[in-house]
Structure 1
Amino acid sequence: MKLIGVTGGVGAGKSQVLGYIRDTYKARILLADEAANDLKKPGMPCYEPVIATLGRQILQEDGTINNKKMAEAIFASSEKLAQINAIIHPAVRTYIMEQIRLERESGVNDFFFLEAALLIEEHYDEVVDELWYVYANEQVRCKRLKDSRGYSDEKTASIISRQQPDAVFRSKCDFVLDNSGDFENTKQQIDEKLGVYLCKEQTASSIS
């Protein structure tokens, strides 16, 4: 099983890319943000520590954590943000490593794709076989954010300016997937890349 990390800036189209891979290949897709949300649910490892750190005012009536209230609480205090990161990031990493282990044992899938906003910062390059950078030029990203999320030009520019520059992604990643144009072209890039892996696996299997 090939383990591939996927990263890229907001609006680059990572979800679209992973959706195509999920529908086309025998692949497990794991999104770190979804894992983090699951781990904050009642009864899960991060639920009580997060409440102990931020207080019960972040809870909804049904006892679940209100993500908007949580965000307001942590971004108002750099200390709280650091404390929450220290709770959630290790728990997410533990969960991810366990899922990778289970997938390897099952032998069902050819690929395991891990998508995380902080893939590089959290050193997942030490875990995966290779890193993919989903790229789209800034003009395309801005248009996508305005069309899909209704963001203003100012908000879009602010979000993009706070992210890692293109050069950093390119220097850290093994493969650049250009998703600036027609998605048919993107699919062709994916098929060529994953096709090479599948051919190598088939060759290795026939030899053994």
Structure 2
Amino acid sequence: MIILGLTGSIGMGKSTTASMFRDAGVPVHDSDEAVHRLYSGVAAHLIEERFPGVVSQGTVDRDKLAQAVLGKPDALRDLERIVHPLVRADSDAFVKRHRDAGTPVILLDIPLLFETGGENRVDRIVVVSAPAEVQRERVLARPGMTEQKFEAILARQVPDAEKRRRADFIVDSSKGMEAARASVRDIIAQLPGGKPA
């Protein structure tokens, strides 16, 4: 079984690209989606213990949590210590399920793949990228996003140029949906056992 790792800096189009792999028949484990599930499940009480007042009706309020950790490196590290092992366990269960089923290719969508040592868990790395001005425009168009928030997020991420250098495959998301979809099909076709659906 080939395990692809998908990553890309904020605003690069990683989630859209993950959907394209899913549409092409590749099972996808989405770390962000796993976090959403955990925030309404097993992680909620652990996060509330460390950050009192951020959980309401059994679910982590992401805005309150952001206020509790943004610009506070120690608080952010504490949050990561709670969440990362839970996401990793969820991902490991996904990998095992597909290995047992004989799935030829799966994809792990890991936003902070290089930042968390995730490259050691995958066989090939796909980086989604776009020019910096396209990225900035996309991110600043998001509701509630500010220059300050954007810069704080970027500061925590491995630079795009470094991600591209370490990638096995690059999907340029600035050339339109069809070009990105063609890149995805091409990547799958190059893998042993990989045939786009």
Q: 2:123 matched to 1:129? A: yes
Structure 2 residue matching 1:27: 3-state secondary structure: coil
Cα distance in 2 between the residues matched to 1:13 and 1:152: 16
Question: Which residues of structure 1 form unaligned runs of 5+?
Answer: 203-208
Greater mean alpha carbon deviation, residues 127-136 or residues 184-193: 184-193
Q: Deviations over 1:8-33 (max 9, x none)?
A: 1222111221112211x221111112
When the two structures are superposed, what TM-score results if normalisation uses the length of structure 1?
0.81
Gap change, CA 1:177 and 1:104, over 3 Å in 2? same
Q: Deviations over 1:65-87 (max 9, x none)?
A: 21111221123643322222111
Q: One-letter code of the match for 1:78?
A: P
Contact 2:11 2:135 (8 Å CA) reproduced: yes
Cα distance in 2 between the residues matched to 1:138 and 1:172: 18
Q: 1:21 aligns to what?
A: 21
Q: Pairwise mapping of residues 141-152 of structure 1 onto structure 2 (< 5 A)?
A: 141-147=135-141, 149=142
Seq. identity, %: 26
Q: Pairwise mapping of residues 78-97 of structure 1 onto structure 2 (< 5 A)?
A: 78-97=73-92
Q: Deviations over 1:6-57 (max 9, x none)?
A: 111222111221112211x221111112212212324x2x2222111112x1
Q: Pairwise mapping of residues 162-173 of structure 1 onto structure 2 (< 5 A)?
A: 162=155, 163-173=157-167
Tell me how far 1:184 sits from its aligned partner. 1.8
Q: One-letter code of the match for 2:116?
A: E
Tell me how far 1:153 sits from its aligned partner. 8.1
Structure 2 residue matching 1:104: 3-state secondary structure: helix
Structure 1 residue matching 2:58: 3-state secondary structure: coil
Q: One-letter code of the match for 2:55?
A: L
Gap change, CA 1:137 and 1:35, over 3 Å in 2? same
Contact 1:120 1:172 (8 Å CA) reproduced: no
Contact 1:142 1:153 (8 Å CA) reproduced: no
Cα distance in 2 between the residues matched to 1:157 and 1:41: 26
Cα distance in 2 between the residues matched to 1:27 and 1:74: 35
Cα distance in 2 between the residues matched to 1:53 and 1:154: 28
Gap change, CA 1:84 and 1:110, over 3 Å in 2? same
Structure 2 residue matching 1:52: 3-state secondary structure: helix
Find the partner of 1:51 among 37, 48, 55.
48
Matched residue count: 193
Q: One-letter code of the match for 1:173?
A: A
Cα distance in 1 between the residues matched to 2:83 and 2:132: 30
Q: 2:40 aligns to what?
A: 41
Gap change, CA 1:111 and 1:201, over 3 Å in 2? closer
Cα distance in 2 between the residues matched to 1:105 and 1:30: 16
Gap change, CA 1:47 and 1:150, over 3 Å in 2? closer
Q: One-letter code of the match for 1:158?
A: E
Contact 1:132 1:177 (8 Å CA) reproduced: yes
Contact 2:28 2:107 (8 Å CA) reproduced: yes
Question: Which residues of structure 2 form unaligned runs of 5+?
Answer: none
Q: 2:60 aligns to what?
A: 65
Contact 2:114 2:158 (8 Å CA) reproduced: no
Cα distance in 2 between the residues matched to 1:192 and 1:104: 23
Contact 1:9 1:160 (8 Å CA) reproduced: no
Q: 1:6 aligns to what?
A: 6
Gap change, CA 1:124 and 1:152, over 3 Å in 2? closer
